[in-house]
Amino acid sequence: NQPDQYVVIGNPIAHSKSPRIHARFAAETAQRLNYSTLLAPLDGFVATAEAFRAAGGRGANVTVPFKLEAFAYSTRLTARAQAAGAVNTLMFDGADIIGDNTDGLGLVNDIVRNAGIPLQAKRILLLGAGGAARGALLPLLEQQPAQLIIANRTLSKAQQLAQAARAEFPDLVVAACTFETVPADCAFDVIINATSASLQDAVPPLPDYVWQARPLAYDMMYGATPTAFLQVAAQHAAQCRDGLGMLVEQAAAAYALWRGVQPATGPVLHELRMEMQAAEGR
Ligand code: NDP
Which pLDDT tens digit goes with each residue over 146-186?
Answer: 999 999 999 999 999 999 999 999 999 999 999 999 999 99
Q: Is 99 in the pocket of ligand 1 (CB under 6 A)?
A: no
- What is the CA(194)–ligand 1 centre distance, in A? 5
**What's the CATH number for 104-242?**
3.40.50.720
Q: Which residues are catalytic?
A: 67
Ligand 1 neighbourhood includes 196 CB (under 6 angstroms): yes
Confirm or deny that 58 is annotated as ligand binding: no
Separation in Å, CA 33 to CA 20, 26, 133, 159, 268 = 13, 7, 32, 43, 17
Q: Answer yes or no: is the C-beta of 247 below 6 A from any ligand 1 atom.
A: yes
| Pocket of ligand 1 contains residue 153 by CB under 6 Å | yes
CA 199 / ligand 1 centre spacing (Å): 8
* Residue ranges of domains in the chain: 4-101+245-281, 104-242
Q: What Rg value do the Cα atoms of the chain yield, rounded?
A: 19
- Residue 101 CB-half CA count within 13 A: 30
With a 6 Å cutoff on the Cβ, whether 48 touches ligand 1 is no
CA of 61 to the centre of ligand 1 (A): 19
254, 89 in Cβ contact below 8 A? yes
Tell me whether residue 156 is annotated as binding.
yes
Per-residue confidence (pLDDT) for residue 281, from 0 to 100: 73
Average pLDDT, the chain: 96
For 10-27, what is each residue's pLDDT tens digit? 999 999 999 999 999 999
Buried (b) or exposed (e) across 157-191, using 16+ Cβ within 10 A? Answer: bbbbbbebbbeebeeeebbbbebeebeeebebbbb
CA of 243 to the centre of ligand 1 (A): 13
Fold agreement between 4-101+245-281 and 104-242: yes
- Per-residue pLDDT of 60-91, as tens digits, reads 999 999 999 999 999 999 999 999 999 999 99
Looking at domain 4-101+245-281, its CATH class is alpha beta
Q: Is the pLDDT of residue 141 over 70?
A: yes
pLDDT band at 1 (very low <50, low <70, confident <90, very high): confident
Atom of ligand 1 nearest to the CA of 157: 46
Q: Is the pLDDT of residue 282 over 70?
A: no
- Spatial CB neighbours of 163, under 8 Å, sequence gap ≥ 6: none
50-59 tens-digit pLDDT: 999 999 999 9
What is the model's pLDDT at position 128? 97
Q: Which of 68, 103, 154, 196 to mutate to test the pocket of ligand 1 (most atoms within 8 A of CB)?
A: 196
> What mean pLDDT is predicted for residues 45-53?
98
From the CB of 30, is ligand 1 less than 6 Å away? no
pLDDT single digits (tens) 219-229 = 999 988 999 99
* Residue 200 annotated as binding site: no
Tell me whether 0.90 is exceeded by the ipTM: yes
pLDDT for the residue 238: 98
Give which of 189, 246, 240, 186 is closest to 217, Cα–Cα.
240
Q: Does the CB atom of residue 246 touch ligand 1 within 6 A?
A: yes
Full-model pTM: 0.96
- Residue 257: helix, strand or coil by DSSP? helix
For residue 200, which atom of ligand 1 is closest to its CA?
A: 18
CA of 214 to the centre of ligand 1 (A): 23
